[in-house]
Chain A
Amino acid sequence: MNVLTPTETEWPALRERAASWPFQAVLVANRGEIAVRVLRTVQRLGLKGIVVYHAADRGTAAVRLADEAVEITGETPVGAYLDGAQIIRVAQAAGAGAIHPGYGFLSENKGFCEAVEAAGMRFIGPTPEQIDLMGDKVRARNFVEKAGFPVAPSAIEDDDPKTFVERSRQVGAPLLIKPSAGGGGKGMRIVRDLSLLEQEIERGRSEGQRYFGDGRLYCERYIENPRHIEVQVLGDGQGGVVHVFERECSVQRRFQKIVEETPSPALDDAKRREICETAAGIARSIGYRNAGTVEFIFGQSGEFYFLEMNTRLQVEHPVTEEITGIDLVLQQLRVAAGEKLGCTQDDVKAQGHSIELRIYAEDAARGYTPTTGPILVLHPPQGEGVRWDSGVLHGGEVTSAFDPMIAKLIIRGADRAEAIARADKALKDTVLLGCKTNTAFLRRLIAHPAFIAGDVHTGFLDANPQIAAEPVLATETLQALLAAASLSTRPMRDVADAVPDMHAAMGSWRN
């Protein structure tokens, strides 16, 4: 049986296998689109899908889809999803045999992972030690460097806090300050002018302290106009490791990915093999279990350095699934259940091109600031090669309580050009009203000649602010909008409708 890409007819057999797994109910300790995504595979395997939710998420897609949904509480909505002890209690009470953490929240929390296992459940992820190692940027970097893989020049505060500023200065400008405990771009600061170094270090420390309760920092050489290329890996913790090709995530705003694709237009076959095998090597060197992502910074001349390893499912995992046919959640569940990967690198095959566009509730023209509002109308796009992963439903609400990502639009095409064309049409067909989103921005982005040429880097949007800027409206568009708005606004329509028929027909007649 093909365990990597089971066909429709092979799923019944797969379900039979799953029936003998050590867990028969999986609790998803997450929300939004990823909770939906995980639940779909869990349920497809015939397992019971349980989800926790904060009151702010009542009525969302995940809560409706789950076989059982249990409300959790917290001082803040985010706090509820970070409350590992509460979630474990809920999981036990609900009879869950395993917990899937999704991404974010508790997904890379070693303490939670340990507590889950201590409570007699499986943590669908890596071992606590692997989380611990890769969760600390500094240790991870040192480990990778010692294992003989490429890392960028850097200075680590912990090595000798007294000389940190001086050593940072030696890394040279431009450099990047990051909280040791951080991730996801939080608290990162670029320093181009070394005279501002101390000030920026203090600022970064303050932010690190607030976000992670840990003010330790490290800094590294900042590579100008780098690409962000990452490699999906799968490990079974029993010696089996494969890579599932790369993803290019260079288009970023505020250090956060916004468009991801695979294959990377920057790589030729040789470079692809080199970077993917490096990633697999790193995973293999720690005996990795779970799906994971090894991130690299990729310079203009083809050099690449290890950035970090994320020991969880990534937001952008669907593009990999689309070109390989591999259900990554299925693989996570299998290895967590103790199965071996049961395949070799040669079994992992890809075809076509896939692009993910993150649909955010945000205003690109206002510095990508988040927006909020109700989902008054939602017509997701449909069509060949279109996948819509979303946790919001018509009638829902986008609040500032959580990350402003509304949905992921994943497009598959025979080649990159077809994927881009399909993406544009899908964005055009996406109707989402009530909350400003970035769909129009994404259309401008993917229509940009540099993007079409695959010639992007992580600073691409900063260097091309006109993409984010609100374009000047065509007169005809403006007229249509004002007409639609006027006819939909009661105080205006009421005044017009109040005019008697005859007078209305006369118009602005004067004698």
Chain B
Amino acid sequence: MKRIESRLNTASAEFQANAEHNRRLAAEFRDKQEKVRHARPQRDIDRLRSQNKLLVRERLDLLLDPGTPFLEFSSLAANEAYGGEVPAAACVTGIGIVSGREVVINAGDASVKGGAWYPLTVKKTVRALDIAIENRLPVVHLCDSAGGFLPLQADLFADKYMAGRIFRNQCMLSKMGVQQVSVVLGHCTAGGAYVPGLSDYNVIVRGTGAIFLAGPPLVKAATGEDVSVDELGGCDMHTSVSGTADYPAGSEEEAIAIARDIVAQFKRPQKAHTEWQEPEAPYYDAGELYGILPRDIKAQFDMKEVIARLVDGSRFHEYQPNYGKTLICGYAHLWGYKIGILANNGVLFNDSALKGAHFIELCNQGRTPIVFLQNITGFMVGKEYERRGITKDGAKMIMAVSNCEVPKFTVMCHGSFGAGNYGMSGRAFDSRFLFSWPQSQTSVMGAEQAANTLADVKIRQLAKQGKQLSQADIDAIRDPVLGEFKRKQSAYYTTSEIWDDGMLDPVDTRNALGISISAALNTPIGDPRYGVFRM
């Protein structure tokens, strides 16, 4: 495998301008993340301190093995929802190392609205448990939640992927033999009571932890019974009388230490066998990614330069280098793991789609996980291409992507528009993990194009009614549509809605993918099997 020869001129004005632009975007992202993680009203922090509670980040530090990475999911979830008042959707999820095991962590953040579940909290939690199911990862739940946010109950309670799905997913994990441990650090009331209840193991903190279907006020209202929190569902009652909880702990630190010891008892999975070799750092500096990504979403760039900054030794075996050149396909190693890469270098033509479908089949035959690097404006349109069967060729690629047995990983590097999103394994196509870079955009078509289309419809309606529109009138119609469209295709919106597993600073992509691939290999890889390819 030979090294990619970078053609990047790092001294060029273009590179410098891009680098400055993208570094600023990364800094803005970091800044937002920092606020989401740590900026809390003092009174909320004081309240937790007065209850002898640790902040969720402190709990994580105690839980995770020292000196090990933590891949946090959807750190900016809900950043564009609820007026920005529910940072990270009031929970922290991610993959970390506990007692040497890769686990999914699902931790409530009681410093946000008492850890109340908002609709996006539920979505983020369900997604974390989906990740656990798909990748057979044990789960550590750090429970500290006030329960469902009642004003929005209709958006979080009953539907298929709402709160019930959390418990359903817990049961699926259990059936699959994937273990879970809950640490009850606050009240687990009503539905929340099932999180520890459905875990294989649970630990409860004396004094602050409690589990019950209804808290004392509700019990009083329902039956007139006067009962204290401890009597009703405290640590000693549950660990010595009801058996609902397993291990009593005198403090949060102790509870988390016990949980670590429990995880240490988990059987380590046999990883799926794929090609692996000693990892090697990329030859080219990942920091140069900032200079590669253009400032304009419509501007083209060579995705091979990106690949060179992600993979081991910057080495790449390119498949069909002279055919369907708008889609780069080839093999590389990332943190030692052999991967196949599909990366866009332009619009998808018939030959690029066929090349992509073929390469996906090769990866499945070779049990090679696939990384999709998206920068796609869509499949080529027009008479010529329809005649050549661009739709059926695109369908082949989508069929191959959908039925892929090897784990897929998708990075939204830049644009992701139209059916290209599907062909390159967008969110709907079950990539095990999907991450977005800060400047990336996702939508059914480009914003200008969409805004013009929408404005044209409106203008034609008004024209039918006999109204003549000035340019100012047209702008008044078009601009708000454009603005709203731009907002909703931005990576911040995407990540707020949890259409991805989180935004990434481009330089973090290699590690995020490494952790993701390692996690994905906990699930055996099935034999290749597809539906009908339209020939």
A→B interface (CB under 8 Å): 495-500, 502-511
Q: Are B65 and A509 in contact (CB under 8 A)?
A: no
Which of B68, B75, B100, B504 has a CB less than 8 Å from the CB of A506? B68
B→A interface (CB under 8 Å): 65-72, 75, 97, 99-102, 264, 279, 335-336, 502, 504-505, 508, 511-512, 514-515, 518
Which of B69, B505, B515 has a CB less than 8 Å from the CB of A508? B69
Q: Are A510 and B102 in contact (CB under 8 A)?
A: no
Q: Are A509 and B511 in contact (CB under 8 A)?
A: yes
Q: Are B335 and A502 in contact (CB under 8 A)?
A: yes
Q: List 25 A-B contacts (CB under 8 A).
A: A495-B100, A495-B264, A496-B67, A498-B99, A499-B67, A499-B68, A499-B97, A499-B100, A500-B100, A500-B518, A502-B335, A502-B336, A502-B514, A502-B518, A503-B69, A504-B67, A505-B279, A507-B68, A508-B67, A509-B70, A509-B511, A510-B69, A511-B70, A511-B75, A511-B511
For A502, the chain B residues whose CB sits under 8 A away are: 279, 335-336, 514-515, 518
Dominant SS at the A interface? Answer: helix
Chain A residue at smallest Cβ distance from B512? A511
Number of A-B contacts (CB under 8 A): 65
Q: Are B100 and A498 in contact (CB under 8 A)?
A: yes
For B97, the chain A residues whose CB sits under 8 A away are: 499-500, 503
Quote the shortest CB–CB distance from A444 to chain B (angstroms). Answer: 36
For A503, the chain B residues whose CB sits under 8 A away are: 68-69, 97, 102, 515, 518
Chain A residue at smallest Cβ distance from B278? A501
Chain B residue at smallest Cβ distance from A492? B66
For A495, the chain B residues whose CB sits under 8 A away are: 65, 99-100, 264
Q: Are A511 and B67 in contact (CB under 8 A)?
A: no
Q: Are B69 and A507 in contact (CB under 8 A)?
A: yes
Q: Are B514 and A511 in contact (CB under 8 A)?
A: no
Quote the shortest CB–CB distance from B194 to chain A (angstroms). Answer: 30
CA of A506 to CA of B97, assembled, Å: 12
Q: Are A504 and B68 in contact (CB under 8 A)?
A: yes
For A510, the chain B residues whose CB sits under 8 A away are: 69-70, 72
Quote the shortest CB–CB distance from B390 to chain A (angstroms). Answer: 37
Q: Are A508 and B68 in contact (CB under 8 A)?
A: yes
Q: Are B335 and A511 in contact (CB under 8 A)?
A: no
For A499, the chain B residues whose CB sits under 8 A away are: 65, 67-68, 97, 100
Chain A residue at smallest Cβ distance from B96? A503
Chain A residue at smallest Cβ distance from B33? A511
For A507, the chain B residues whose CB sits under 8 A away are: 67-69
For A496, the chain B residues whose CB sits under 8 A away are: 65, 67
Q: Are A511 and B65 in contact (CB under 8 A)?
A: no
Determine which residue in A505, A508, A510 has the highest number of CB atoms from chain B within 10 A of its CB, and name it.
Answer: A510
Chain A residue at smallest Cβ distance from B64? A508
Quote the shortest CB–CB distance from B412 to chain A (angstroms). Answer: 15
CA of A504 to CA of B518, assembled, Å: 13
Determine which residue in B100, B101, B264 has the highest number of CB atoms from chain A within 10 A of its CB, and name it.
Answer: B100
Quote the shortest CB–CB distance from A207 to chain B (angstroms). Answer: 45
For A504, the chain B residues whose CB sits under 8 A away are: 67-68
CA of A511 to CA of B518, assembled, Å: 16
Q: Are A506 and B65 in contact (CB under 8 A)?
A: no
Quote the shortest CB–CB distance from A471 to chain B (angstroms). Answer: 30
Determine which residue in A495, A496, A503, A507 has the highest number of CB atoms from chain B within 10 A of its CB, and name it.
Answer: A503
For B72, the chain A residues whose CB sits under 8 A away are: 510-511
CA of A507 to CA of B511, assembled, Å: 11
CA of A496 to CA of B65, assembled, Å: 8
Q: Are B505 and A511 in contact (CB under 8 A)?
A: yes
CA of A509 to CA of B512, assembled, Å: 10
Quote the shortest CB–CB distance from A72 to chain B (angstroms). Answer: 49
In the complex, given contacts A498-B65, A503-B97, A511-B70, what are 10 additional A-B residue pairs having Cβ atoms less than 8 angstroms apart? A495-B99, A506-B511, A507-B67, A509-B69, A509-B70, A510-B70, A511-B75, A511-B502, A511-B508, A511-B511
